Structure 1
Amino acid sequence: MDFRNEPLGRLARILALLSLFIGLGDAARLLGLGAGSASPILTIGTMGFILLSALTLMRLFAAVGLWIQSSWGAIILAASLAIELAFYLLGSNWVSLGLWGFIFKLGVMLATFGLLAIAQLSVRRQLAD
């Protein structure tokens, strides 16, 4: 399943850019930008740092996958957002999101699921023809 037709390809590229910006924002947080002189490991804890590192790598790889219009990029992005939102909803202190950050990431996750669903329907339609 790929996103080579016109509307799916554009949506995949938009999601790739969003994934890249989210991943770079997380990378900046890992480096301690905006935290003053406090260490990011001390600020979010060791497990939070490891979780944020894994999510950052997932999002950067997802951005590459979506940019080349491959389905594995969308799957990785959806998985990383689902993991982060699950940790947030379970009340973990490893993930810190505001209301607008939660709404934004939920919207990106739903758009990613929509992209995968539309691509799957497109494949089924092509097989039926």
Structure 2
Amino acid sequence: MDFRNEPLGLVARILGLLSLFIGLGDAARLLGLGAGSASPITAIGTTGFVLLSVLALMRLFAAVGLWIRSSWGAIMLAASLVIEIGLYLVGTNWVSLGLWSFIFKLGVMLATFGLLAIAQLSAQRQLAD
């Protein structure tokens, strides 16, 4: 399943850019930008720091995968968002999201699932023809 179809490819590239911005935002948090003089490790804890590092890397690799219109990029983006939103809803201290950040990431996750579903339906339709 790939996103060679023009509308799917455009949506994949838009999601790739969004994934890039989310990943770069996570990387900025890892570097301590916006946290003042506090160390990011002490601010979010060691486990939170490792988790945020993994999620940032997943999103940056997902951005590359989506930009080259490959399905593994969408799967990586969806997995990273499911993990983050799931941990937030469970109530762990490792993930902190504001209301608008939660709504934005939920929208990106739903758009990613929609892209994967439409690509799957398109692939099945091509096989049937």
If the length of structure 1 is used for normalisation, what is the TM-score?
A: 1.00
**What amino acid maps onto 2:128 in structure 1?**
A
Over the aligned positions, Cα root-mean-square deviation in angstroms equals: 0.3
Q: C-alpha separation between the residues in 2 aligned to 1:35 and 1:116?
A: 36
Who is 1:32 aligned against? 32
Alpha-carbon distance, 1:116 to partner: 0.2
Q: C-alpha separation between the residues in 2 aligned to 1:109 and 1:115?
A: 10
Alpha-carbon distance, 1:34 to partner: 0.7
Q: C-alpha separation between the residues in 2 aligned to 1:123 and 1:35?
A: 46
Alpha-carbon distance, 1:67 to partner: 0.2
Who is 1:5 aligned against? 5
* Overall identity of the aligned pairs, in %: 84
Who is 1:85 aligned against? 85
Q: C-alpha separation between the residues in 1 aligned to 2:55 and 2:18?
A: 14
Alpha-carbon distance, 1:74 to partner: 0.1
Is the counterpart of residue 111 in structure 1 residue 111 in structure 2? yes
Alpha-carbon distance, 1:60 to partner: 0.2
- Return structure 1 stretches of 4+ with deviation > 2 angstroms: none
**What amino acid maps onto 1:72 in structure 2?**
W
Alpha-carbon distance, 1:111 to partner: 0.2
- Residues 55-105 of structure 1 show CA distances to partners (whole Å, capped at 9, x for unaligned) of 000000000000000000000000000000000000011000001100000
Unmatched segments (≥5 aa) in structure 2: none
Give 3-state SS (helix, strand or coil) of 2:33's partner: coil
Aligned residues: 129
- Residues 17-48 of structure 1 show CA distances to partners (whole Å, capped at 9, x for unaligned) of 00000000000000000111100000000000
Q: C-alpha separation between the residues in 2 aligned to 1:92 and 1:104?
A: 20
If the length of structure 2 is used for normalisation, what is the TM-score?
A: 1.00
Who is 1:125 aligned against? 125
Alpha-carbon distance, 1:14 to partner: 0.2
